[in-house]
Amino acid sequence: MRNILLTVSYDGTNFSGWQRQDKSDEKKPVRTVQGELEKVLESVHKTKINLQGSGRTDSGVHAVRQKANFLSPIDSIPAEKYVVALNSLLPDDIRILDSKEVDENFSSRFSAVTRTYRYFIVPSNRALATQMPYVWNIKNEPDIEKLNAMASVLKGELNFATFTAAGDQSKSTFRYVENARFFYEDLCPCGKAIVFEITANAFLWKMVRSLTGSMIFFEKNGYDEKYFKEVLDSCDRSKAGPTAPPQGLFLWDISYEGVRHDADYVKENSTED
């Protein structure tokens, strides 16, 4: 068996998230990224293939460089040729960017050191119609310095119970954040977007969207980083602001370099945005 690692990009608009779902919606199959990929892999291999992703993005969330690995029972396809082979069969909203053979013990999920998400916000209703599926279009123009003051609170090992969704089954609500910041990025011709980027060992369910929505809400209503830290430290979900919508969120990258902080407490039953 060869262990093949894929780098996957997808438009999450028409998917019910990454994770395969056995249930159906009104007797219709639920469309997921993992499900579509496994269907094509099984077609290529003529046998059932189980694909493991590095994280489980929620319905409507996109990915630039999701990672996923599977065990291939055949040797006839060179590892790098899976890019062409799979893209020729996959729908246009999933693309394989890279494929390579990795060590037999490698796991795209449990070997990951950090995950990076980016959330795209277009202020002052400047988003174009074609950008609406990929950004959060807000009415106001936030003060990015105040947003970054709040983001500076998100550093190190913290309890994110305030910013997870009801129903999250993770054993621990602690996560280790490497970096969190807001910055501007050109999205011509509509002007500059505000991007929230956060890198951590793992994430709770809807954690990034909750953090983003809360900071945007708090800045708009005159709250500062001191208040934001009090809300974080309270571990009280009712004190969080509104959760940002899914379409602005992208799983941006996965890193396997370095040492993962406190891997044990996020290894089992860890959920993702």
Picking from 147, 145, 129, the residue whose alpha carbon sits closest to that of residue 137 is 129
pLDDT band at 272 (very low <50, low <70, confident <90, very high): low
Query: 47 in a domain, yes or no?
Result: yes
Same-domain check for residues 175 and 247: yes
What is the predicted pLDDT for the residue at 171? 87
Give the Cα separation of 128 and 166 in Å (integer).
33
- Classify 22 as helix, strand or coil: coil
Q: Which domain holds residue 26?
A: 2-102
**146-198 pLDDT, tens digit each:** 999 999 999 999 999 999 988 787 889 999 999 999 999 988 777 789 999 99
CATH number for the domain harbouring residue 69: 3.30.70.580
- Name the domain count of the chain: 2
CB-neighbour burial class of residue 130 (10 A; exposed 0-12, middle 13-18, buried 19+): exposed
Q: What positions carry a catalytic annotation?
A: 58
Same-domain check for residues 162 and 95: no
Mean pLDDT of 251-273: 75
Same-domain check for residues 203 and 250: yes
Give the Cα separation of 120 and 194 in Å (integer).
6
Same-domain check for residues 142 and 220: yes
Residue with tokens 């500076």, as numbered in its chain? 152
| Residue 203 and residue 272 in contact, taking contact as beta carbons nearer than 8 Å | yes
**195-235 pLDDT, tens digit each:** 999 999 999 999 999 999 999 999 999 999 999 999 999 99
Encoded tokens for 209 = 């969207």
Give the Cα separation of 226 and 71 in Å (integer).
49
CATH number for the domain harbouring residue 216: 3.30.70.660
**10-52 pLDDT, tens digit each:** 999 999 999 988 765 566 779 999 999 999 999 999 999 999 9
